[in-house]
């Protein structure tokens, strides 16, 4: 089997995690690419079974919107400040595309400022409600209006859910204005996953989550270069990220990781932050 990030034939099975779908839980094997260090869930995220996970997961449930709005608003505000700072077209004239826009909380901010914003969202209930609220939102990338380009394209916790992240990044590069920016927020869990696999410990769901790919920094850099992007700025410290303590010990371990990893990173000069925000530009040929 080939790594969908670096294309090396070096995937090594390391664990198995249950994933909730509309039909119940399914066991999904986890592998690690020995070449680029990315972890991968060996199941097809374009199959209807796996896609149904996103219909039943709590963070896409309309009833939970207020909870997620309150727990994420400061984090979104941090990302929005980054977009304002690095957007190279005048911000009030920028055209934005939010891929995996979920409840549309980032879109709401832009709409309030009368900035043109478009969303992509695969979950029907979320997308339909955004349409009812007057947002321009589509299900698939290919549904976007033809010949439309964007000045800012964001993937906040969504790139790692694509079956083939290179394909979506290549398509994104084509519709990004030559002076535009790409903003990625991805998890940075490979350091902790490496420790668990080194000691032959199973990988808990709370650490791997529901992603298809848990990118290493090396892996995401390879993807971006292949798709025609160059990294402009990386943020290791994420402000406003709220992780609940929870009742289950796996969630409590995750909470602890979010608390101590920034401290360990500053003491040992390692990049152990739980997430990365990456600002990219199109590569000039």
Query: Of 28 and 38, which CB lies nearer to Zn ion in the complex structure?
Result: 38
**Quick check: 6 binds Zn ion (CB under 5 A)?**
yes
**Quick check: 169 binds Zn ion (CB under 5 A)?**
no
**Quick check: 33 binds Zn ion (CB under 5 A)?**
yes
Sign, Cα dihedral of 155, 165, 54, 195:
negative
Query: Of 5 and 19, which CB lies nearer to Zn ion in the complex structure?
Result: 5
What is the rounded CA–CA span in Å between residue 92 and residue 113?
Answer: 7
Q: How far is the CB of 10 from Zn ion (least distance, A)?
A: 7
Binding mask 183-212 for Zn ion (x = CB under 5 A): ------------------------------
CB environment 45-73: b (16+ within 10 A), e (fewer)? beeeebbebbeebeebbeeebeebeebbe
Q: How far is the CB of 53 from Zn ion (least distance, A)?
A: 24
The helix (H) or strand (E) run that includes residue 71 is helix 65-86
Written as six digits, the tokens of 279 are 């600002």
Written as six digits, the tokens of 124 are 């029907």
Q: How far is the CB of 33 from Zn ion (least distance, A)?
A: 3
Across 193-246, the runs of DSSP E, i.e. the strands, are 213-214, 229-235
Interface with Zn ion by CB under 5 A: which range of 33-41, 74-82, 88-96, 188-196?
A: 33-41
**Quick check: 101 binds Zn ion (CB under 5 A)?**
no
Interface with Zn ion by CB under 5 A: which range of 26-34, 41-49, 94-102, 236-244?
A: 26-34
> Nearest 10 degrees: CA dihedral of 138, 140, 143, 145?
70
Query: Of 3 and 96, which CB lies nearer to Zn ion in the complex structure?
Result: 3
**Quick check: 5 binds Zn ion (CB under 5 A)?**
yes
Q: How far is the CB of 43 from Zn ion (least distance, A)?
A: 17
User: With contact defined as beta carbons under 8 Å apart, do 194 and 139 qualify?
Assistant: no
Among the listed residues 128, 88, 142, 84, the one whose alpha carbon sits nearest the alpha carbon of residue 109: 84
Query: Of 189 and 281, which CB lies nearer to Zn ion in the complex structure?
Result: 189
- Residue with structure tokens 């321009």? 136
**Quick check: 11 binds Zn ion (CB under 5 A)?**
no
Among 14, 17, 30, 36, binds Zn ion (CB under 5 A): 36
**Quick check: 123 binds Zn ion (CB under 5 A)?**
no
Q: Count residues near Zn ion (CB under 5 A).
A: 7
Task: State the DSSP code for 140.
Answer: S
Written as six digits, the tokens of 87 are 């957007």
Q: How far is the CB of 225 from Zn ion (least distance, A)?
A: 13
Sign, Cα dihedral of 274, 271, 73, 90:
negative
User: With contact defined as beta carbons under 8 Å apart, do 62 and 129 qualify?
Assistant: yes
Interface with Zn ion by CB under 5 A: which range of 2-10, 156-164, 177-185, 202-210?
A: 2-10
Q: How far is the CB of 108 from Zn ion (least distance, A)?
A: 37
What is the rounded CA–CA span in Å between residue 267 and residue 227?
Answer: 34
Binding footprint of Zn ion on the chain (CB under 5 A): 3, 5-6, 8, 33, 35-36
């Amino acid at each position: 089997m080939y790594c969908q990030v670096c294309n090396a034939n070096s995937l090594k099975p390391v664990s198995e995690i249950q994933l909730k779908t509309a039909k119940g839980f399914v066991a999904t094997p986890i592998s690690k690419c020995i070449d680029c260090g990315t972890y991968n869930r060996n199941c097809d995220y374009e199959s209807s079974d796996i896609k149904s996970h996103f219909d039943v997961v709590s963070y896409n449930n309309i009833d939970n919107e207020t909870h997620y709005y309150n727990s994420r608003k400061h984090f979104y505000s941090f990302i929005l400040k980054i977009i304002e700072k690095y957007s190279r077209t005048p911000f009030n004239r920028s055209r934005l595309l939010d891929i995996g826009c979920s409840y549309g909380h980032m879109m709401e901010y832009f709409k309030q400022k009368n900035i043109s914003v478009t969303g992509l969202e695969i979950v029907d209930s979320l997308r339909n409600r955004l349409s009812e609220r007057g947002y321009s939102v589509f299900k698939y990338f290919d549904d976007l209006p033809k010949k439309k380009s964007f000045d800012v394209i964001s993937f906040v916790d969504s790139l790692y859910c694509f079956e083939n992240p290179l394909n979506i990044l290549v398509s994104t590069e084509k519709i990004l204005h030559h002076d535009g920016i790409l903003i990625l927020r991805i998890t940075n869990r490979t350091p902790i996953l490496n420790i668990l696999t080194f000691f032959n410990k199973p990988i808990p769901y709370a650490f791997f989550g529901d992603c298809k790919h848990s990118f290493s920094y090396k892996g995401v850099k390879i993807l971006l270069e292949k798709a025609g992007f160059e990294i402009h700025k990386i943020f290791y410290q994420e402000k406003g990220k709220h992780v609940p303590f929870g009742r289950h010990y796996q969630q409590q371990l995750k909470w602890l990781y979010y608390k101590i990893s920034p401290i360990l990173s500053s003491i040992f000069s390692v990049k152990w932050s739980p997430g990365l925000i990456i600002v990219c530009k199109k590569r000039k040929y």
